[in-house]
Amino acid sequence: MKRHHLLHPELNRAIASLGHGDTLILCDAGFRIPRDAWRIDLAVARDLPDLTPVLAALMGDLVVEWALLPNELRDYNPVQHQEIVDLLPDVRIEHVPHKQVMDEEAAKAKVIVRTGAFSPWANIVLASIPDVPKWFERPGTKLPSWYEDVAGGMAANGDAPGHDGAAGR
């Protein structure tokens, strides 16, 4: 059997398919998912499964460089916001308007995972990154100085390659 957290075969396939900078959206039951999106629908009933335990399971297998959270989640659903932030301790988090998550980010996401969460604005954009310490553990490879922040956690200060200051990219 599999050693890590996720048992869902399609979630495992989705995570394995992500490259550096690809995004996965973890969303609530009401999120408008584009017709052509790779949709993994976990929703069974109200709050089944809830978003927070699904995020915790994903974080056991997914290496995340940055996350986008809706401003509205922080402002109008602060308890859920804090639960999500607590599950992303080494991830650079940026806040954007919910409309940007619904429109722009949903159109760009490689995969969208729908939960049964009945929780307003609980929609998270997660950007993948290689597991940097493992990526550079081969004898003879050197970690570039500009990647040191990534090696110690995930890009905490926004100096990782490809960062242009706009929504984490």
Pairing of strands 64-70, 92-96: parallel
Q: What is the amino acid identity at position 119? A: S
Active-site position among 5, 8, 20, 95: 20
Q: How far is CA 145 from CA 21, 117, 150, in A?
A: 20, 41, 10
Rounded Cα gap, residues 62 and 100, in angstroms: 23
R_g (Cα) of the chain, nearest Å: 16
Active site residue 20: yes
Token reading at 132: 């940097």
| Catalytic residue annotation | 20
